[in-house]
Amino acid sequence: MAVSISEICENTKLAREMALTGNYETAGVYYQGVVQQIHRLLTSINDTTRRAKWQQVQQQIANEYEQVKGITNILQLLKADGHLDRPLGGSTSYNFSAFEEPTRDPDVWGPPPPRDPDVWPAPTVVEHKSGTPVRTVRNTRKGGTDTGNKTGTLRGTRGGSTSANKKDAGRNTKGKVEQTPRSARGAKNSDSKDDKEKGDKSEKDGESEGKEEHEEEEKRFDPSGYDRELVEMLERDIVQKDPNIHWDDIADLHQAKRLLEEAVVLPMWMPDFFKGIRRPWRGVLMVGPPGTGKTMLAKAVATECGTTFFNVSSSTLTSKYRGESEKLVRLLFEMARFYAPSTIFIDEIDSLCSRRGSASEHEASRRVKSELLVQMDGISSASEGEPGKVVMVLAATNFPWDIDEALRRRLEKRIYIPLPSNEGREALLKINLREVTLCDDVNLTDVAVKLEGYSGADITNVCRDASMMAMRRKIAGMKPEQIKLLAKEELDLPVSHMDFRDALAKCNKSVSQEDLDKYEQWMNEFGSA
Ligand code: ADP
C-alpha cells in the first residue's frame, strides 16, 4: 500500500503535539510509526536525491524520538525513586477520579498499549487536517505548556490558549522537494484547491513522483550570490506550499476575510487599477486576543489566494539566526519578490518591534527591525514597477500597543480580529464537531450562548474536552490490558449535553474584559479597517 505523505506529516504533527503536551509515551508510539512509514516510503522511491532527502527527514524524526525517549526514561527514574506522587495512588488501574485532579492535565493518559508500528492508529479525538505542511521554527509565547519554548519571552498571564501548542506541535519535517514553492500562480481559488486535490489523488495513486518532477521544473530561486544555507533554510522551514486552511474552515470573521481578499486578490486580478494612489497595501496587521483565528486567516489567504506563503515568527528572526537575522530578512523579501505573488506572515510581530529605544530593545532586534522597515518600503516601489507581482506583509499581534510607531505606519491596514459572535460560536462548534456524533439532547445554539466571551481556541478546547468525556467514563477503573482490547468504536461514543456542561465547567475563558477594553481603545486610536 502506498504511503501517503500527508499521513506522515499528520502523524509527525501528532507525535510532536503529544510530546509538547507532555504525553511522551504516546509521542513515542507516533514517532515510531512515522519512522516506519518513512521507511516504507523509501522503498518506493527510486530518485536518489529524493531518497536522500527523505532519509534526512527520517533521521531527524529518529533523533526527536530519541530525545522524547530520554525524557521518558528520566521521568521513569524519578517515579521509581518516589520523587513524584503517583497520581493513581500506586494502582495500575485507571481511575476516573484521577482525571479530576486540578494539577493534572485531563488529557494525559498513562502509557498507551504498545502497538504494531505497521498498524497505524487513526486519531479519534483530536481533529487535524491532513496534509497540512507545517513549519519548523515557532515561538510559543502565546501561553500553554510548551516545553520546547527556548527563546520566547513569556508575558504575564495573557493568552491562555493552547493554540500555541497546537501550532508548535506542527513542526515541519518535510523535505525540500515537497516544499518547492509555487511559481507565480493564478489567483483563482480553484487553482489552489485543484492543486491540493490533484496532490492528494496522485499520492494515493502512487503518482507523486510525476507530480514532484513537475514541481521541480517550476521556477526556483537561484541561490548563487546568497548564503546557500540560508536559502535552503528558508525554503525548508519558512516557505509553505499549501497551508491547507480554507475560508470555510474559519468560522465568523466575514469582514476580515473580505478585507484580506480585497488586499491580496484584487491587486493580482486588476494590476492596472492598483497603481499610484491605489497601490496595494504593503502591510496588514491583524490585532486581537490570542486564539481568535489570526494565524488561520493568514494560512487561508495563502491557500485561497494561491500566493506563496512565507510563515515566520518574530522569534525565528531574532533568536535562532542571531547574527544572520538581517540577512535573513533581506533574503526573505528577495525570495518573496521572486515567487510573487507572495504573502509574508510575521506572527507575534510585537516581540520584534517593541518600541524603539525601550529598555527591552536589543541591538540585534533593532537591526532586524530596521531591515524590515527598509524592505517594506521596498515592496511598494517594486510593485509599482511590476504590478501584479504583489508581496504583502501580513502580521499578527496580541499586543498591538507594543508595536513600534515606524512599523505601525507601514502596516497600513490594521484590522481587529474579535472574539467570535454568538453566530460565530455556533459555527465554530459545528466546525470542531464535524467528526463527532452528538446525542439528541445537545442543542448547539444553547451551548454557543453559554460560550460567550470564549475565544475560538477556548471553544476548540471545550469541544475537545467534551468529546473525550464518554471515553474517560468508559475506561474509568479499567486496567491497561483491558483498555488495549477496546475497539475504536467502543470509545467513539456520542457526546451528550452533560458532557458539554462538564467541559464548560472545566475550561475557562482566556480573555478578560480588561484585555478587550485595551484592544478597543487601541483600535479606536490606530485601527483602520
Ligand atoms: P491566533 O493566531 O489568533 O492566536 P489561531 O489562528 O492560531 O489563533 O487559532 C488557534 C486555534 O483556535 C485554531 O487552531 C482553531 O482550532 C481555533 N480557532 C480560533 N478561531 C477560529 C475560527 N474563527 N474558526 C475556526 N477555528 C478557530
Listing DSSP states for 189-255 in one string gives HHHHHHHHHHHHHHHHTT-HHHHHHHHHTS-----TTS-HHHHHHIIIIIEES-----GGGS-S-HH
Residue nearest to atom 25 of ligand 1 (CA): 250
CA 347 to ligand 1: nearest atom: 2
- Helix 5-20 and helix 24-43: axis angle, to 10°? 160
Rounded CA-CA distance 285/394 in Å is: 6
d(CA 291, CA 510): 9
Whether the CB-CB separation of 456 and 421 falls below 8 Å is answered with no
Residue 138, C-beta contacts closer than 8 angstroms, at least 6 positions apart? 164, 167, 168, 171, 313, 315, 316, 347
**Ligand 1 atom at shortest distance from the alpha carbon of 460:** 16
424 CA → ligand 1 middle, Å: 12
Distance 34 CA to ligand 1 centre (A): 27
**Does the beta carbon of 300 sit less than 6 angstroms from any atom of ligand 1?**
no
| Percentage helix, strand, coil for the chain under 3-state DSSP, each rounded to 5 | 55, 5, 40
Pocket residue to mutate for ligand 1, from 255, 260, 292, most atoms within 8 A of Cβ: 292
Tell me if 428 CB under 6 Å of ligand 1: yes
CB 282 within 8 A of CB 376: yes
Residue 87 has a pLDDT of 41
| Ligand 1 in reach of 294 Cβ (< 6 A) | yes
Quote the pLDDT of residue 323: 63
Residue 132 DSSP SS3 = coil
Using a 6 Å cutoff on CB, does residue 462 contact ligand 1? no
Cα–Cα distance measured from residue 406 to residue 373, given in angstroms and rounded to the nearest whole number: 8
Nearest CA residue ID for atom 1, ligand 1: 291
Tell me the three cell numbers of residue 298: 493568514
DSSP-assigned beta bridge partners for residue 395:
285, 346
Q: Which three cell numbers stand for residue 374?
A: 527598509
Would you say the CB of residue 292 lies under 6 angstroms from ligand 1? yes
User: Which residues 6+ apart lie within 8 Å of 421 measured at CB?
Assistant: 252
Cell 487553482 belongs to: 191
> Ligand 1 centroid to 456 CA: how many Å?
5
- 152 C-alpha vs ligand 1 centroid, how far in Å? 20
| Backbone dihedral region for residue 465 (phi beyond 0: left; psi -120 to 50: alpha; all else: beta) | alpha
Q: How far, in Å, from the CA of 160 to the mean position of ligand 1?
A: 13
Separation CA 199–CA 165 (nearest Å): 28
Question: Residue 383's pLDDT is what?
Answer: 53
List CB contacts of 77: < 8 A, sequence separation 6 or more.
Answer: none
Tell me, what's the pLDDT at 141? 31
What is the Å distance from ligand 1's center to 164 Cα?
Answer: 10
Contacts of 183 (CB under 8 A, 6+ apart): 218, 219, 339
Tell me what pLDDT residue 387 has.
57
Q: Which of 244, 296, 351, 430 to mutate to test the pocket of ligand 1 (most atoms within 8 A of CB)?
A: 296
Separation of CA 384 and ligand 1 centre (Å): 34
Q: Assess whether the C-beta atom of 464 lies below 6 angstroms from ligand 1.
A: no
pLDDT tens digits for the chain (529 residues)? 566 788 888 888 888 887 887 777 777 877 888 888 888 888 888 888 888 888 888 888 888 888 888 887 777 776 655 544 444 333 333 333 333 333 333 333 333 334 344 433 333 222 333 333 333 223 333 333 333 332 222 222 223 333 333 333 333 333 222 333 333 333 333 333 344 444 444 444 444 444 444 444 567 787 777 777 778 878 877 887 678 899 989 999 999 999 888 887 777 777 788 877 887 887 899 999 999 999 999 999 888 888 889 998 877 776 555 566 788 888 889 989 888 888 899 999 987 765 545 554 566 667 788 888 888 888 765 555 565 577 889 999 999 998 888 889 989 899 999 999 999 999 999 999 998 999 999 999 999 999 999 999 999 999 999 998 888 888 888 888 888 888 877 777 889 999 999 999 988 999 999 999 999 999 999 987 6
Angstrom CA distances, 177 to 128, 241, 311, 316, 367, stand at 23, 11, 18, 22, 33
Whole-number pLDDT of residue 254: 92
240 has which bridge partners? 309
What separation in Å is there between the alpha carbon of 166 and the centre of ligand 1?
10
Distance, in Å, from the CA atom of 312 to the CA atom of 395, rounded to the nearest integer, reads: 10
Burial of 197 (0-12, 13-18, 19+ CB in 10 A): exposed
**Candidates 138, 163, 245, 314: which one to mutate for ligand 1, based on the most atoms within 8 Å of Cβ?**
163
> What are phi and psi for residue 527, nearest 5 degrees?
-65, 155
Question: What's the pLDDT score for residue 357?
Answer: 53
- Cα gap 250→159, rounded to integer Å: 20
How many other C-beta atoms can be found within 10 angstroms of the C-beta atom of residue 219?
A: 12
**Ligand 1 atom 7: residue of nearest CA:** 295
Nearest atom in ligand 1 to 159's CA: 4
For residues 354 and 361, the answer to whether their CB atoms sit within 8 Å is: yes
What is the Cα–Cα distance from 129 to 169, expressed in whole angstroms? 13
Q: Which atom of ligand 1 is nearest to the CA of 417?
A: 3
| CB 144 less than 6 A from any atom of ligand 1 | no
Q: What is the CA(281)–ligand 1 centre distance, in A?
A: 24
Q: Are 94 and 106 in contact (CB under 8 A)?
A: no
Tell me, in angstroms, the distance from the centre of ligand 1 to residue 513's CA: 19
| CB 33 near ligand 1, within 6 Å | no
Distance 415 CA to ligand 1 centre (A): 16
How many Å apart are CA 154 and CA 348, to the nearest integer?
12
What is the 429 CA–ligand 1 centroid distance (Å)? Answer: 12
Is 205 in contact with 362 (CB distance < 8 Å)? Answer: no
Q: Which of 80, 413, 65 lies closest to 267, judged by CA?
A: 413
Distance 301 CA to ligand 1 centre (A): 14
Distance 399 CA to ligand 1 centre (A): 17
Cell of 391: 508581496
Nearest residue by C-alpha to atom 14 in ligand 1? 163
Q: Residue 436 is placed in which grid cell?
A: 463527532
Atom index in ligand 1 nearest the CA of residue 424 equals 23
